[in-house]
Amino acid sequence: MRGSSEAFRFLDKEISLCYFLSILERKKARMEKKTFGVGLFGLGTVGGGVAELLLNENWKSKDYEFVLKKVAVRHLNKRRSISLPSRLLTTNPREVLEDPEIDTVIEVMGGISPAKEIIIEALRKGKNVITANKALLARSGSLIFKEATENNCYLGVRASNIASYRLIESLAYSPSKIEELIGIFNGTCNYILTEMERRGESFSNVLKKAQEIGYTEKDPSDDIDGYDTAHKLVVLLGLTSGHFLPLESLFVEGIRKITLQDILFAKELGYRIKLVAIARRKGEELEARVHPALLPIGRGLARLDGIENGIEIRDETGVEVGLQAPGAGRYPTATAILEDLVCMAEGRKLVSPYQREHLTLKKMEEVETRYYLRFNALDQAGVLAKISGILGSYNISIKAVLQKGERESERSEFVPVIMLTHKAREKDVQNAIRKINSLSVIKGETLLIRVEEGIF
Amino acid sequence: MRGSSEAFRFLDKEISLCYFLSILERKKARMEKKTFGVGLFGLGTVGGGVAELLLNENWKSKDYEFVLKKVAVRHLNKRRSISLPSRLLTTNPREVLEDPEIDTVIEVMGGISPAKEIIIEALRKGKNVITANKALLARSGSLIFKEATENNCYLGVRASNIASYRLIESLAYSPSKIEELIGIFNGTCNYILTEMERRGESFSNVLKKAQEIGYTEKDPSDDIDGYDTAHKLVVLLGLTSGHFLPLESLFVEGIRKITLQDILFAKELGYRIKLVAIARRKGEELEARVHPALLPIGRGLARLDGIENGIEIRDETGVEVGLQAPGAGRYPTATAILEDLVCMAEGRKLVSPYQREHLTLKKMEEVETRYYLRFNALDQAGVLAKISGILGSYNISIKAVLQKGERESERSEFVPVIMLTHKAREKDVQNAIRKINSLSVIKGETLLIRVEEGIF
């Protein structure tokens, strides 16, 4: 007994000394600048911006120093917006991953592979990781966050959703759960829809222009088919709830089917068409979907023009917040990455300390909302009655009808008939449309766009 | 030598053990729930909300427990929205300050004294402090932050500016300095100005209604004279730059002088009148001011109705962010305080790690902006020429003139003449107005309202 109590007394002394030393250590750390060795993957628009900020004296913090040690690129001699000393450049990722002086890896190369392998390996080697890769985070967010936690590394993802990152921390740390969220997360789609309205041009003409001025990739499908928006929604919900939804479980619809005609009809009815991400919680059920929607003109997100992005949130106490922000771009993304560096240096973690319950994802067919329907109908008596009869049989009631005398062409006898419905169930609407489409007085597919109110 | 090197070896062992123990300690801390004893000062709208959230199981975090130990109130038997066990209530502040189980003090009693003494004493006793008291922070922010730092305490101030707190951390941690900021920080003023326009009523009638429905204090001067807005601006600039401007150094003007007439004239010219806080940096000079301003209709802050608040920010890289948020209220404020509790428990600090340069405050008379001027002028030929002649002699050029045939009363020969100027220097405008006011063709004081563009 005595022996053991002496051992404890010894331990006590050790602990006091240890405590004293740790205070000294902390005091010392405060007086010295902490230095971090940074390795960068990718030197495109964003990577170039990050390198520029890291090399610029203006951006230095008083407490930390971030030293750019190495940049991995695909081609050494490509023309770039920034010229770096050639000793910094390498085409070999291993030179970054295996450099013991590099404790922090910034991944802005994009794509799933090899970005994923690079991030996982960096984390397993104990390096902090900062990434802008929403496509990867949406697919492998759970795994990547697990690796970061297990290896006690900082994982910075602010740059993956510029539209909302300035709210993410506050949302993650708020005791109050999100009840409803609606966002415009894709600048390309918002630009295309805005320009169609402004210039009275077709989707394909405006898309071509967007490609010419570099507002979208050569293959624009990620943007215009809604996947980029869906990636950002999955990451946002993952960060604020701790649960990353499987990407495939989300309902995702893009803007390819939206015609200039629909934009003008919507305007006449008091709406603008936007590509939105929506999450809504009711009890233990969660709706999460991405699709074009009619939003009331002059309110909230409907006011966002061109490449602007925004988000509106209501929490369970009824507190509402709306944020308007750039969606992407060199400096918005590069400064988000720098902010991650500083938060990393401060020892922060971007994970909610709240254990949010795991919600069940509501099936899309059970979702209830309002609908804009555009039928291509024969211009003759009794057609409206037929359509509304079928809608009625599925419990879908009509709020407004807009029938335009404009036939598709001189020889066509078909005219667009627009109906706005009251709230209805997706499944009923889909079934009703299928039935209506099979009528002989209807030509082609009926277009359906959902109608949302937004929060502000 | 050998002795000292052995001592070092001994120290080495101690450090390894110490390191090992500290890891154990941290692991243990992670597994256990950290408990914080909370003392609350004030049990009004906000205090009641905080108590409700603290006592409600819904709001518990998985890592922390916040236990409400004591609530200091002025009157024990007042009717309140929340009924607490009487053992929790006390009228003696000392019972909170001297309770060793209370490590965290939440001050939502308002007023300068005794709130200031309570906060300083709590910090000196090593207690963390969370406060919503913008008036106090605007006056004594430097001192209070200094005490918090010296005593190694957490100081939470999110609740002092609900309109902007969700951006404060991001702004404080962003490497990029704020270049321009414009905000609507006072719900009462925004409500009054919105209702005057909507209902076509006078300032004093709408103020009376605001007082009846509890949107403003019995003595509304802090709100309508602009001081509440100025407090919030001082705190916001203090948090993001580290420098608290002396409140007296700010130019502050309220909304008492705004008439319904001005609101309607402004509308005709394409503007809405709002009470705004403005900060703008040019080189090493800072403009910081609070006053009513004409903002372009349909854009940015001009769209905020009723008690809504908002802020727009542009940083030095040109990144623009706009936030729309509630300005006050039970739940917005109480959840902001809970968020502070969680950040405190996480060991965060809300102070910028960037050493922002100390800027010189630009004198108001040197500020350049555009102006709306309302002269009360004799309805006769040559008057416009006289006014514009004087303006011209001070280098003030006129952009638009609006002359209404509406005389002040049937017998009056005076009519309002409105002029919008191009950019001019405040000093020149003040001097010109003084000269114009002394003309015999002018009756009474000329009203001056500044015109701002906003960011969005």
More confidently predicted of B214 and B12: B214
Let me know whether A320 and A184 are in one domain. yes
What average pLDDT score do residues B151-162 get?
Answer: 93
| Chain B residue with minimum CA distance to A312 | B324
pLDDT digits (tens, 9 = 90+) for A315-362: 999 999 999 999 888 999 999 999 999 889 988 876 666 656 778 999
* N residues, chain B: 456
Q: Which residues of A touch B335 (CB under 8 A)?
A: 174-176, 315, 317, 319
Q: B276 by DSSP, 3-state: which?
A: strand
pLDDT at A273 over 60: yes
**Which residues of B participate in the annotated binding site?**
134, 217
- Chain A / chain B CB contacts < 8 angstroms: 148
Q: How far is CA B400 from the centre of its chain?
A: 33
Q: Which residues of A touch B346 (CB under 8 A)?
A: 173, 348-349, 353
What pLDDT was estimated at residue A351?
62
Q: Note down the domain range covering A305.
A: 165-326+354-362
User: Does some domain include residue A223?
Assistant: yes
User: Does some domain include residue B22?
Assistant: no
Let me know whether A180 and A226 are in one domain. yes
What average pLDDT score do residues A388-398 get?
Answer: 97
The proportion of chain A whose per-residue pLDDT surpasses 70, expressed as a percent, equals 90
DSSP label at residue B247:
G
- Provide the whole-model pTM: 0.88
- CA-CA distances (angstroms) from residue B355 to A36, A102, A154, A335? 19, 26, 24, 17
Which candidate in B69, B232, B274, B362 is catalytic?
B232
pLDDT band for A61, please (50, 70, 90 cuts): confident
**Which residues of B participate in the annotated binding site for L-homoserine?**
217
pLDDT at B90 over 60: yes
CA dihedral B413, B416, B417, B422 (to 10 degrees): 160
pLDDT at A407 over 70: no
What pLDDT was estimated at residue B284?
87
E strands in B42-143: 64-72, 89-90, 104-107, 128-131
Contact A14 B17 (CB under 8 A): yes
Let me know whether B187 and B141 are in one domain. no
More confidently predicted of A16 and B114: B114
Interface predicted TM-score of the whole assembly (ipTM), two decimals: 0.85
Q: Shortest CB distance from B353 goes to which of A63, A169, A315?
A: A63
Distance from CA of A282 to the nearest CA of B (A): 16
pLDDT at A18 over 60: no
Let me know whether A179 and A273 are in one domain. yes
Residue B41 to residue A1: CA distance in whole angstroms:
50
Q: Of A133, A124, A123, whose CA–CA distance to A155 is shortest?
A: A123
pLDDT band for A78, please (50, 70, 90 cuts): confident
Q: Which two tokens stand for residue B146?
A: 């200094």
Q: Of B156, B179, B206, at which residue does a domain stop? A: B156
What pLDDT was estimated at residue B77?
86
Let me know whether A145 and A217 are in one domain. no
pLDDT at B177 over 80: yes
Q: Of A125, A156, A187, at which residue does a domain stop? A: A156
Contact B173 A343 (CB under 8 A): yes
pLDDT at B26 over 60: no
DSSP label at residue A318:
-
pLDDT band for A263, please (50, 70, 90 cuts): very high
Q: Which two tokens stand for residue A1?
A: 């007994």
pLDDT digits (tens, 9 = 90+) for B241-256: 878 899 999 999 999 9
Let me know whether A288 and A172 are in one domain. yes
Residue B321: beta bridge partners?
Answer: B313
Contact B345 A354 (CB under 8 A): no
**Which residue is listed with tokens 């409400």?**
B68
- Mean pLDDT check: name the lowest of A7-16, A77-86, A432-441, B365-374: A7-16
Whether residue A217 is annotated as binding a ligand: the answer is yes
Active-site positions of A read 232
pLDDT digits (tens, 9 = 90+) for B408-421: 666 678 999 999 99
User: Does some domain include residue A298?
Assistant: yes
| Chain B residue with minimum CA distance to A336 | B174
Residue A402: beta bridge partners?
Answer: A418
pLDDT band for B64, please (50, 70, 90 cuts): confident
Return mean pLDDT, chain A. 89
What pLDDT was estimated at residue A350?
62
- Mean pLDDT check: name the lowest of A132-146, A203-217, B27-41, B220-234: B27-41
What average pLDDT score do residues A60-80 get?
Answer: 89
User: Does some domain include residue B399?
Assistant: yes
What average pLDDT score do residues B372-385 get?
Answer: 93
Contact B318 A298 (CB under 8 A): no
Let me know whether B103 and B227 are in one domain. no
DSSP label at residue A442:
B
| Chain B residue with minimum CA distance to A304 | B456
Residue A110 to residue A131: CA distance in whole angstroms:
9
The runs of H, that is alpha helices, within A310-408 are 330-345, 383-393
pLDDT band for B4, please (50, 70, 90 cuts): very low
Q: Which residues of B touch A176 (CB under 8 A)?
A: 59, 331, 335, 338
What pLDDT was estimated at residue A10?
45
User: Does some domain include residue A389?
Assistant: yes
pLDDT at A25 over 90: no
User: Does some domain include residue A342?
Assistant: no
What pLDDT was estimated at residue B347?
83
CATH number of the domain bearing residue B96 = 3.40.50.720
Residue B279 to residue B455: CA distance in whole angstroms:
12
Return mean pLDDT, chain B. 89
CATH number of the domain bearing residue B408 = 3.30.70.260
Q: How far is CA A411 from the centre of its chain?
A: 45
Residue B394 to residue B51: CA distance in whole angstroms:
58
Contact B355 A61 (CB under 8 A): yes
Distance from CA of A425 to the nearest CA of B (A): 31
Let me know whether B145 and B244 are in one domain. no
How far apart are the two ends of chain B, measured CA to CA in Å?
69
- Mean pLDDT check: name the lowest of A194-198, B292-296, B379-383: B379-383
Question: A259-263: which pairs have CB atoms within 8 A and are 24 or more residues apart?
Answer: A259/A202, A259/A203, A259/A447, A260/A196, A260/A197, A260/A200, A260/A201, A260/A202, A260/A203, A261/A374, A261/A416, A262/A372, A262/A374, A262/A447, A262/A449, A263/A193, A263/A196, A263/A197
Let me know whether B144 and B179 are in one domain. no
Distance from CA of B440 to the nearest CA of A (A): 46
User: Does some domain include residue A10?
Assistant: no
| Chain A residue with minimum CA distance to B299 | A303
Contact B326 A339 (CB under 8 A): no
Query: Could you give the number of structural domains in chain B?
Result: 3
Contact A326 B332 (CB under 8 A): no
User: Does some domain include residue B298?
Assistant: yes
Distance from CA of B233 to the nearest CA of A (A): 19
Let me know whether B403 and B371 are in one domain. yes
What average pLDDT score do residues B429-445 get?
Answer: 96
Could you give phi then psi for residue B316, rounded to 5 degrees? -70, -15
What pLDDT was estimated at residue B21?
52
Q: Of A295, A355, A360, A309, whose CA–CA distance to A167 is shortest?
A: A309
Contact B174 A315 (CB under 8 A): no
Q: Which residues of A touch B334 (CB under 8 A)?
A: 317
Let me know whether A84 and A139 are in one domain. yes
Q: Shortest CB distance from B321 goes to which of A166, A174, A345?
A: A166
pLDDT at B401 over 60: yes
What pLDDT was estimated at residue B31?
55
The one-letter code for the residue type at B325 is: A
Let me know whether B152 and B179 are in one domain. no
Q: Which residues of A touch B338 (CB under 8 A)?
A: 174-176
CATH number of the domain bearing residue A172 = 3.30.360.10
* Residue B114, preceding peptide bond in cis (omega within 30° of 0): yes
Distance from CA of A160 to the nearest CA of B (A): 15
Q: Shortest CB distance from B17 goes to which of A18, A321, A325?
A: A18
What average pLDDT score do residues A42-55 get?
Answer: 94
Residue B170 to residue B315: CA distance in whole angstroms:
12
Q: Which residues of B touch A347 (CB under 8 A)?
A: 347
Q: Return all residues near A394 (Cβ < 8 A) that are at least 6 apart.
A: A424, A428, A429, A431, A432
